[in-house]
Structure 1
Amino acid sequence: MHFIAETTSNGVSERLFALDDVHGVLWSPDGGGDRPLVLLGHGGGQHKRAEGLVARARRYVVDCGFAVAAIDAPGHGDRPKGERDERFAAGMKERIAAGKPVGPHVARYNEELAERVVPEWRAVLDALGVADGPVGYWGVSLGSAIGVPLVAAEPRITAAVFGLAGHEPLADAAARVTVPVEFLLQWDDELVPRASALALFDAFASREKTLHANPGRHAAVPAFEVESSQRFFSRHLAV
C-alpha cells in the first residue's frame, strides 16, 4: 500500500492510497492511534470521494472517533472502465430508452462487481494492519451488493449497515451473515421491489437485526439515518 497524498482539516486527516490497482482513501482523527475502523461502500456510479460519502466519513471521525476507509469499485472513480463496465452502461441506456425496468440489469452487474471487489477489500484490511477488528461496514445499493458477500466472508467485520438491495442475488451470502445488522428500506423504491428487500432482511442469520423503512424512492434515504448509523456503530464497535 502506498499513501499518495495527505491533507488535514478541522481535526480530520484524509490520506489517499493505492494498493496495486485499487484506489482508496483513509480518514482518521488527526494524531492517529488505534481506533475502530468503518468501511464505506459507495453507490453505483459514485466513487470513494462522493460528496455524501465524504460527509459521512467526517462525521464518523469527528463524532465517534472512528477511522474510516473507502475504495473505488472497478470502473468507478480513479479506476478505468473495462469491457464489462461499458456493456453495463450501454445496456442501461438501451433499457431506459425502451422503457424497460433497469433493476434486474443493475443487480446482475452489481453481482459481477462484488466478485471482484470482495477480495480487494480483504486485501485493504490486511494492508492497513487490521488483525481482528473491530471493523464495521456501511453500504447501500451497490454498497450492499458488495458488502453482504464481504461481511459473510470476512470475520474481522463485526457490525454492518445495509440497504436498498434485493433478495435474489444476495440470499446465500445473507444466510451467512451473523453480525448485528441495520437495514434501510425505501418503501417506494423504483429499483428494488419492496417484497425482495424484505426477503433479504429476513434472510440475514443475525440474532440482532433492525429494519428501518422510510417512505420515498431509491435515492431518498432520510438524512437522519446517518445519525442512526453512528449510534449503531458506537454500540457495536466500542472497545
Structure 2
Amino acid sequence: MHSLQFTAESSSNGMIERDFTVGDVPGVLFSPPSGADRAPLVLMGHGGGTHKKHPSMAGRARLLVTGCGFHAAVIDAPGHGDRPRTAHDEREIAELYRARAAGEPEGPIVVRYNAHLAELAVPEYRTTLDALQELPEIGPDGPVGYWGINMGTAIGVPFVAIEPRITAAVFGQHWPEALAEKAKGITVPVEFDLQWDDEHIPREAGLALFDAFASKEKSLHVNSGKHKELPRFEADSAVRFFARHLGGRAVTAPA
C-alpha cells in the first residue's frame, strides 16, 4: 500500500493547496484553512488533454472548499499533467488529431483511448482514496463524492461502479459505449450534464448513458450549446448537489 507524501503547500483566497504523491501518481489536495476538523471529500477527474491543476479543476475545488468547507482532490490521469506519455498515448493522440484534421468522427478514438486510461486510473483513484482517508482532517468514515466531466466521466463511471465509499457523483458529456454497462451498477445519487447541440456526442448517445444509471435519484441537466459551452452555473449546481448529499453548510449563489 502506498502512503501519501506532501511535496508542496501554498494558500490563497481561503483555500490551502497541497501537492502530493501516492506512489508515482501526482495529485493535489485543496482544503479549507482550518484543517483540524473533519470534512467531506470530493474526488475530481480532469478532462482529456488537461491536468490536475487546470483552471477548471482549481475553480471547482474553490467552490467546494469556500462554499461548503469540503476537501477536493485531483490526480493526474495516466499520460497527462506531470506523468509521461507512453508510445500508446502518442499513437492515440496522433490518431485523434488526424481524424480531427480530416473531419472524421472523434468519438470512436476518444472512447477507445479513454477506456484504456480508465483501466489504469481506476486502481489509482482507489489507492489515492485509501491514502487520503488516512489524513486526520478527512478520516476513514466521512462521506466521499466524485465529480468528473468528459474524460473524468470515462474514468469516474467505472470507478464509482466498484467503489462503495462514493455516496454521490456528478458526470456528463461522454458516449455510452464502454460505460453504459458499468453505469447500470451505480445506484448513488447522480447529476448528469449534457449539451444539446454537442458536435461530438449525439444527444441520443448522451441520453442513453444517463438512462443507464440505476440510481433512484438522478438529475439530467441539459443546456443548449456545443461541447465546450457547458455553462459555468452548472458548477454551482454540482456544488449544491454535493452539499445536499455529503453534508455541509449552505451554498450561496454568487451575485
Q: Residue 142 in 1 paired to residue 151 in 2?
A: yes
Worse-matched range after superposition: 126-135 or 201-210? 126-135
CA distance in 1, matches of 2:201, 2:190: 19
- TM-score, with length taken from structure 1: 0.97
Q: Which residue of 1 aligns with 2:236?
A: 227
- TM-score, with length taken from structure 2: 0.91
- What does the per-residue CA deviation read over 1:142-185, in whole Å, with 9 as the maximum and x for residues that have no partner? 00000011100101100000000121210111000000000000
Q: Which residue of 1 aligns with 2:98?
A: 94
CA distance in 2, matches of 1:85, 1:104: 15
Whether the aligned pair in 1 keeps the contact of 2:39 and 2:142 (CA below 8 Å) is no
* Matching residue's letter, 2:12: S
Q: Which residue of 2 aligns with 1:62?
A: 66
CA distance in 2, matches of 1:226, 1:177: 22
1:187-202 paired onto structure 2 within 5 Å: 187-202=196-211
SS at match of 1:92: helix
What is the CA distance between 1:98 and its match in structure 2?
2.1
Whether the aligned pair in 2 keeps the contact of 1:187 and 1:194 (CA below 8 Å) is yes
* Residue number among 5, 9, 17 corresponding to 1:6 in the alignment: 9
Whether the aligned pair in 1 keeps the contact of 2:107 and 2:175 (CA below 8 Å) is no
SS at match of 1:173: helix
Percentage identity across paired residues of the two chains: 59
Could you list the runs of 4 or more consecutive aligned residues of structure 1 that deviate by over 6 angstroms after TM superposition?
none
What is the CA distance between 1:27 and its match in structure 2?
0.5
Whether the aligned pair in 1 keeps the contact of 2:63 and 2:236 (CA below 8 Å) is no
CA distance in 2, matches of 1:48, 1:74: 11
* Residue number among 194, 205, 225 corresponding to 1:216 in the alignment: 225
Q: Which residue of 2 aligns with 1:47?
A: 51
Q: Which residue of 2 aligns with 1:85?
A: 89
- What does the per-residue CA deviation read over 1:24-81, in whole Å, with 9 as the maximum and x for residues that have no partner? 0001001212100011110000100001110110111001100000010011100011
CA distance in 1, matches of 2:47, 2:68: 23
Q: Which residue of 1 aligns with 2:187?
A: 178
CA distance in 2, matches of 1:99, 1:12: 43
What is the CA distance between 1:131 and its match in structure 2?
2.4
Q: Which residue of 1 aligns with 2:21?
A: 18
Unaligned runs of 5+ in 2: 134-138, 249-255
CA distance in 2, matches of 1:225, 1:148: 19
CA distance in 2, matches of 1:10, 1:149: 34
Work out which structure has the larger RCO, using CA pairs closer than 8 Å and 6 or more positions apart in sequence: 2
